[in-house]
Structures are given as C-alpha cells and as structure tokens.
Amino acid sequence: PNCTTILLTLALAPLAALRPLRRVVVSTYQSASGAGARAMEELRQLSRTVLDGGEARSEVLPHSLAFNLFLHNSPLQANGYCEEELKMLNETRKIMQLPELSLSATCVRVPVLRAHSEAVNIEFEAPLSVAEARAALAQAPGVELIEDFETNRFPMPTDVTGRDPVAVGRIRQDLSHPQALELWLCGDQIRKGAALNAVQIAELL
C-alpha cells in the first residue's frame, strides 16, 4: 500500500472498530524521503544554497522544496486529482474493507527530510467522544499517542523519524459536525514495512 495510506489506516482502524465510518477527509504533508534519497539530498543542498543567497534550482523534483512546498507531483488525472491522492482513496477503501466509504485527499510535498504528516477529519455514522477515541488510539498496536493540550505538544516528524509507531494527537471534536472528529498524525513511512503494517492493521480490524 501507499505509505500515506498505511499511516492513515493505522489511525482509522481502532476508531472504525468503535463506530462505522461515514466519510474521511485527509490532507497529507509528505517529506522529501517519499521521493527517495536523491530528493532528500537535494533538499539539504538547496536549503544551503538559499541560505547563502543563491537561487534554488531543482533537478530531482519539479520544484525546489527548499523553504517551499507544492502539491504532490504525481500525474494529474482528468478529474483534477493526482495519482497519489486517488491511490490513497482506493487503497484505504480496500484495506478498511469499506468499498463505499466516502474519502477525499489532498497531498502536499513539504520541506521535511523524513516522515509524513496528515491532518484527518473523520465522520462517523454515530457520535464518538474524544475520550473514547483517545483511549482506543492509546491502546492500538503500532500507534503512539502524543498529546498535551496545556503545552501545545503534539506529534512532529522528529518524534517518529527512525521509529516504527505512528504518532497520533490533537484529537478534538469537529465544531461543525456532531459526528466528526479531527486528529493529526505523523509517521516514518520508511520504517513502516509492509509485513509489519499488514499484521498491525489486521489486529485492529
């Protein structure tokens, strides 16, 4: 599965076990590592170039990622979505065994070396409290809860770089919808091997 799909489904599965999912809207913030080692090295080099007052000219990615971000560069389809976004929708439905699940995704490449992040809005068929969601995620295999509202401390790419768990936090009620929650997650997609993912997701479903 797509790396962003893996991170998303690890967070969705324990919640779907409590309440049926109706709709998911996700925005991804994908690091340079998703485009490979050359993209990571180019980000390092072009960041130095910009700091030294030079012009950042990318050869690996379609645009410079140094102090910049851009919509995912996978091929665009006739419906306006890119291949990465459609792959995420199709794979999430398949993994979650919910072929009719409503999903929407926007994928963005950001100037982070390693680990992807996602902002997720989840609508359920019936209300799910923040406390229930937090408890389920805290106990889920492959998931780590990082959440401190007093200090504004939530998951960051540096929390998960080189580590297996997907960090989830800032779980909150969607103020515009009584049956929807919002959350934020980060995960090192390089560490999330396919075998480990399959086992963890199967345990949750």
List the chain domain ranges: 3-31+69-204, 33-66
Average pLDDT score over residue span 19-27: 98
For 72-98, how does the pLDDT look when each residue is reduced to its tens digit (9 = 90+)?
989 999 999 999 999 999 999 999 999
The answer to whether residue 69 scores a pLDDT higher than 70 is yes
The answer to whether residue 61 scores a pLDDT higher than 60 is yes
Q: Active site includes 63? A: no
CATH code of the region 3-31+69-204: 3.30.360.10
For 149-205, how does the pLDDT look when each residue is reduced to its tens digit (9 = 90+)?
999 999 999 999 999 999 999 999 999 999 999 999 999 988 765 445 666 666 666
Catalytic residue among 82, 107, 116, 186: 116
Secondary structure (DSSP) of the chain? --HHHHHHHHHHHHHHTTS-EEEEEEEEEE-GGGG-HHHHHHHHHHHHHHHTT-----SSSSS--TT--EE--SPBPTTS-BHHHHHHHHHHHHHHT-TT-EEEEEEEE-S-SS-EEEEEEEEESS---HHHHHHHHHHSTTEEE--BTTTTB---HHHHTT-SSEEEEEEEE-TT-TTEEEEEEEE-TTT--HHHHHHHHHHH-
Q: Active site includes 72? A: no
Rounded to two decimals, the pTM is 0.92
Catalytic residue among 3, 82, 107, 186: 3
The answer to whether residue 13 scores a pLDDT higher than 90 is yes
